[in-house]
């Protein structure tokens, strides 16, 4: 973080995305102590000094975004919360001590293992000390408290903090406190996002059930405790540099809580706690935690689906809705056996994860698919700079047919992917010098192997995620070139390229023809065949590469990266004007899907979602009036079932009036609490930059649902 603050010391409070404010005392501390110590030691400096020239050239021109993990910690994982809550630090420490007893310090390598295991014990003791400090503080507050009810409450807080997470949780409240202390500690260890509490309705269920049965807790009290925890989840915010903030705007922490789905025997896993967790999100309506639903069409009850739709109708952007069958298959495609894959959980935005067992960066780097098209049309030249930054695939005027043009598109993608993989290997190597023992503490295999999470100590390790941004822009552009140039002859390739150079100024008729060409999101076989072809190729190409941790993995989740990427891309054959945001996720470009959400789902289903194992993200925007009556509720339930039948992985909804969004943009002080779904996460609308706000406003609005 030091380099971020150093570069932006005078501007960080004024930047358009996620500003921070630094008082004079903190600035003095930074300049006199933090900067001198950290200069030259940060991940970012070490990584930037080592990345190859071709990777750096693509990074510097907005073709790839690959800084994310250089300026943040690991994140994007689900720690072993269930193990910590059940065993307590004492139980984990006993495992560490037993493992140390097995070592032979005369054996090569065992000294290093012993040294590492000692570090885990130090971290465990540090977590215990932190909790006990809270216990002492609550006790001191109780001594000064005159209200007897509040005094009793503070004494109970003190008792719990002195007990967990040191010891196994013995009640629902202790379990919540234990997991939250640990959540705080792993955020303290690294400036990272996406530490996901995961399937809380499963691992907290025994404590909830026992407390109800014994009379120690009522449902109402449990509901209040969940609401209190939701408030605590919303307190931290992510510190990131200005560029990274553009790609994940709104201070997102991505703490993903999951409900529903099936258990490890394939049975319906929905229970009373599942409904109560949903209700907590309905009650509190803050931007964290992110709530995700695993929905099994075959196993989960309609009552549960209805509860989900009731939450959607509130317009908070929650929940993210996931097709359970596809999520399970994604985990299996990462090499996870079925029995364990059944226990998968959504991670961060829409990525797939497994509690306490899986290590990877789910979103190491992003590829700008708008640039892929540009390079195929400009022979590898960047339109903004005029520099040759990518592969020379030939003058497009000389392409004999559409297949030759499509081949150039694929070659450009292959070249860019190769550059990303090079940068990935550097990042993996840099991170070997940044162990994270607090996170590793709850990964059982890290203890068994005496090997840190950063070093591949988890039970399962996979290659990092390469994320594609601008799906609809690429598909619509390829379809437009095919239609306008090669099928109808409405323009030559030279005429099209010239129109793009001019941002269609003076080429209004050609702009009209490009915009009238077939578009993704309308259940059009001409376009959808291209979807299947291109995205199978993209998945194959990414999976060609191995890293030291496993096969590289693809995903389609933009966060808010479609906006800054769009600012680097000129006019496209789709009819999109220059320097505008790209389409988000697997969603159609705003205003180009004309046949309703059913047609959108059919087009989106042409992507083989199982292959994009880091997740795919679909945004839909719905008029609030649609969900005000029973008919609208039933229609949306039917649409979600259709989504699962079609094999689409994910969908999320903004249920909000267009006029309200525009009013909030014009008068932000009057709408500070307005929540919107950006892309895989919820944020306060008024905290987003104007470009991101405009992109959300410009998304197609669903006014009628036909799920047929």
pLDDT 10s digits, 273-284: 999 999 999 999
**CA–CA separation, 294 and 278 (whole Å):** 12
**CA–CA separation, 8 and 23 (whole Å):** 14
Which has the minimum average pLDDT: 10-24, 90-104, 150-164?
10-24
- Res 679: pLDDT: 63
Give the chain's end-to-end CA distance (angstroms, integer): 50
Residue 469's DSSP bridge partners are 368
Q: Can you list the positions of beta strands (E) in 591-632?
A: 619-622
C-alpha angle 677-682-688 in degrees, rounded to nearest 5:
85
Band (pLDDT 50/70/90 cuts) for residue 708 is: very low
| Digit-coded pLDDT (tens) for 445-490 | 999 999 999 999 999 999 999 999 999 999 999 999 999 999 999 9
Residue 3 pLDDT more than 50?
yes
Residue 73 lies in a domain: no
**CA–CA separation, 195 and 443 (whole Å):** 13
Residue 143 lies in a domain: yes
Provide φ and ψ at 216, rounded to 5°.
Answer: -70, -20
Query: In which residue are the tokens 């499509």 written?
Result: 406
Provide φ and ψ at 298, rounded to 5°.
Answer: -80, -30
Residue 689 pLDDT more than 80?
no
Band (pLDDT 50/70/90 cuts) for residue 641 is: very high
| Per-residue tokens: 389 | 């930054």
Mean pLDDT of 490-510: 98
| Per-residue tokens: 445 | 């295999």
Helices (H), 64-109: 68-71, 81-102
- Res 430: pLDDT: 93
Best CA proximity match to 558, nearest among 646, 644, 681: 681
- Res 692: pLDDT: 77
**CA–CA separation, 393 and 405 (whole Å):** 9
- Res 661: pLDDT: 84
Residue 128 lies in a domain: yes
| Per-residue tokens: 20 | 């921070």
| Number of alpha carbons in the 13 Å side-chain half-sphere of residue 633 | 15
CB 376 within 8 A of CB 571: no
- Res 643: pLDDT: 96
Query: In which residue are the tokens 């967790």 written?
Result: 277
Residue 553 CA, chain-centre distance (Å), reads 14
Residue 675 pLDDT more than 80?
no
Query: In which residue are the tokens 């694929």 written?
Result: 410
Query: In which residue are the tokens 């998304």 written?
Result: 699
Residue 139 lies in a domain: yes
CB 576 within 8 A of CB 475: no
**CA–CA separation, 316 and 682 (whole Å):** 8
Residue 67 lies in a domain: no
Helices (H), 103-199: 110-143, 148-163, 172-189
C-alpha angle 394-395-398 in degrees, rounded to nearest 5:
105
Provide φ and ψ at 288, rounded to 5°.
Answer: -135, 155
Which has the minimum average pLDDT: 124-128, 145-149, 591-595, 602-606?
591-595
Q: Which of 349, 436, 446, 644 is catalytic?
A: 349
**CA–CA separation, 163 and 160 (whole Å):** 5
CB atoms near residue 133 (< 10 Å): 11
Residue 389 pLDDT more than 80?
yes
Residue 607 CA, chain-centre distance (Å), reads 19
- Res 690: pLDDT: 79
Best CA proximity match to 658, nearest among 619, 620, 618, 624: 624
Q: Which of 189, 351, 445, 568 is catalytic?
A: 351
CA distances from residue 670 to 15, 661, 664, 667 in whole angstroms, order as listed = 21, 12, 7, 6
**CA–CA separation, 300 and 303 (whole Å):** 8
CB 345 within 8 A of CB 355: yes
| Digit-coded pLDDT (tens) for 305-315 | 999 999 999 99
Q: Which domain holds residue 102?
A: 80-191
CB atoms near residue 64 (< 10 Å): 26
Q: State how many domains the chain has.
A: 1
Residue 654's DSSP bridge partners are 621
Mean pLDDT of 378-402: 96
Residue 540 lies in a domain: no
Residue 581 DSSP class: P
| Per-residue tokens: 14 | 């004024």
Q: Considering the chain, what percentage of its residues have pLDDT values greater than 90? A: 78
Mean pLDDT of 542-557: 96
Best CA proximity match to 601, nearest among 655, 641, 628: 641
Active site residue 349: yes
Provide φ and ψ at 683, rounded to 5°.
Answer: -145, 165
Residue 2 pLDDT more than 80?
no
CB 610 within 8 A of CB 344: no
| Digit-coded pLDDT (tens) for 323-348 | 999 999 999 999 999 999 999 999 98
Residues 47, 48, 54, 60, Cα dihedral to 10°: 130
| Per-residue tokens: 1 | 């973080």
Answer yes or no: pTM beyond 0.75.
Answer: yes
C-alpha angle 676-251-287 in degrees, rounded to nearest 5:
40
- Res 544: pLDDT: 98
More confident call, 99 vs 45: 99
Best CA proximity match to 553, nearest among 358, 345, 334: 334
Residue 704 pLDDT more than 70?
no
Write the CB contacts of 667 (distance below 8 Å, at least 6 apart in sequence): none
Average pLDDT, the chain: 94
| Digit-coded pLDDT (tens) for 93-149 | 999 999 999 999 999 999 999 999 999 999 999 999 999 999 999 999 999 999 999
């Amino acid at each position: 973080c030091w380099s971020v603050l150093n570069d932006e010391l005078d501007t960080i409070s004024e930047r358009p995305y996620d500003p921070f404010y630094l008082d004079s005392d903190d600035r003095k501390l930074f300049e006199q102590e933090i900067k001198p110590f950290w200069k030259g030691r940060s991940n970012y400096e070490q990584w930037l000094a080592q990345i190859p020239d071709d990777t750096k050239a693509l990074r510097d021109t907005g073709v790839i975004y690959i800084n994310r993990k250089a300026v943040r910690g690991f994140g994007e994982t689900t720690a072993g919360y269930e193990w910590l809550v059940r065993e307590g630090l004492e139980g984990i420490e006993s495992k560490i001590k037993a493992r140390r007893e097995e070592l032979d310090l005369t054996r090569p390598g065992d000294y290093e293992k012993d040294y590492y295991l000692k570090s885990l014990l130090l971290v465990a003791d540090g977590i215990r000390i932190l909790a006990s400090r809270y216990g002492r503080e609550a006790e001191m507050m109780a001594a000064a408290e005159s209200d007897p009810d509040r005094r009793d409450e503070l004494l109970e807080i003190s008792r719990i903090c002195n007990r967990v997470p040191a010891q196994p949780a013995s009640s629902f409240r202790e379990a919540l406190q234990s997991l939250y202390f640990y959540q705080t500690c792993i955020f303290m260890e690294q400036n990272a996002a996406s530490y996901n509490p995961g399937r809380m309705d499963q691992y907290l269920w025994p404590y909830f059930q026992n407390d109800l049965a014994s009379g120690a807790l009522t449902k109402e009290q449990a509901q209040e405790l969940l609401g209190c925890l939701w408030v605590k989840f919303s307190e931290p915010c992510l510190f990131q540099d200005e560029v990274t903030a553009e790609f994940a705007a709104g201070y997102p922490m991505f703490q993903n809580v999951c409900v529903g789905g099936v258990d490890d025997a394939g049975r319906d896993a929905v229970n009373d706690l599942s409904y109560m967790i949903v209700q907590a999100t309905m009650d509190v309506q803050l931007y964290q935690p992110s709530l995700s639903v695993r929905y099994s069409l075959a196993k989960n009850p309609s009552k549960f689906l209805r509860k989900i739709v009731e939450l959607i109708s509130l317009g908070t952007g929650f929940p993210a809705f996931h097709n359970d069958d596809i999520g399970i298959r994604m985990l299996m495609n990462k090499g996870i056996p079925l029995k364990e894959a059944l226990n998968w959980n959504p991670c961060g935005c829409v990525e797939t994860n497994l509690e306490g067992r899986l290590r990877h960066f789910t979103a190491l780097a992003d590829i700008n698919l708008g640039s892929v098209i540009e390079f195929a049309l400009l022979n590898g030249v960047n339109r903004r700079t005029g520099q040759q930054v990518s592969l020379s695939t030939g003058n497009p005027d000389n392409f004999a047919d559409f297949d030759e043009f499509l081949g150039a598109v694929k070659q450009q993608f292959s070249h860019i992917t190769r550059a990303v993989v090079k940068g990935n290997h550097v990042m993996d190597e840099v991170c070997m010098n940044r162990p994270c023992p607090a996170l590793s503490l709850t990964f059982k295999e890290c203890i068994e192997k005496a090997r840190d999470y950063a070093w591949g100590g988890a039970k399962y390790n996979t290659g990092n995620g390469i994320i594609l941004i601008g799906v609809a822009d690429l598909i619509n552009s390829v379809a437009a070139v095919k239609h306008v140039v090669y099928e109808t002859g409405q323009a030559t390739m030279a005429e099209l390229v010239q129109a793009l150079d001019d941002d269609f100024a003076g080429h209004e008729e050609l702009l009209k023809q490009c915009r009238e060409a077939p578009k993704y999101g309308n259940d059009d076989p001409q376009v959808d065949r291209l979807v299947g072809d291109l995205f199978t190729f993209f998945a194959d190409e990414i999976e060609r590469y191995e890293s030291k941790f496993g096969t590289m993995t693809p995903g389609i989740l933009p966060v808010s990266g479609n906006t800054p990427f769009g600012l680097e891309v000129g006019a496209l054959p789709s009819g999109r004007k220059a320097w505008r945001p790209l389409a988000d996720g697997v969603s159609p470009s705003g205003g180009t899907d004309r046949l309703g959400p059913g047609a959108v789902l059919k087009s989106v289903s042409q992507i083989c979602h199982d292959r994009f194992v880091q997740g795919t993200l679909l945004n839909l925007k719905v008029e609030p009036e649609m969900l005000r009556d029973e008919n609208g509720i039933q229609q949306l339930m039917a649409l979600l079932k259709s989504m699962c039948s079609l094999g689409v992985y994910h969908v999320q909804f903004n249920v909000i009036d267009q006029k309200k969004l525009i009013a909030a943009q014009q008068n932000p002080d009057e709408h500070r609490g307005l929540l919107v779904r950006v892309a895989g996460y919820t944020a306060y609308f008024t905290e987003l930059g104007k470009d991101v706000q405009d992109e959300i406003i410009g998304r197609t609005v669903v006014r009628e649902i036909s799920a047929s």
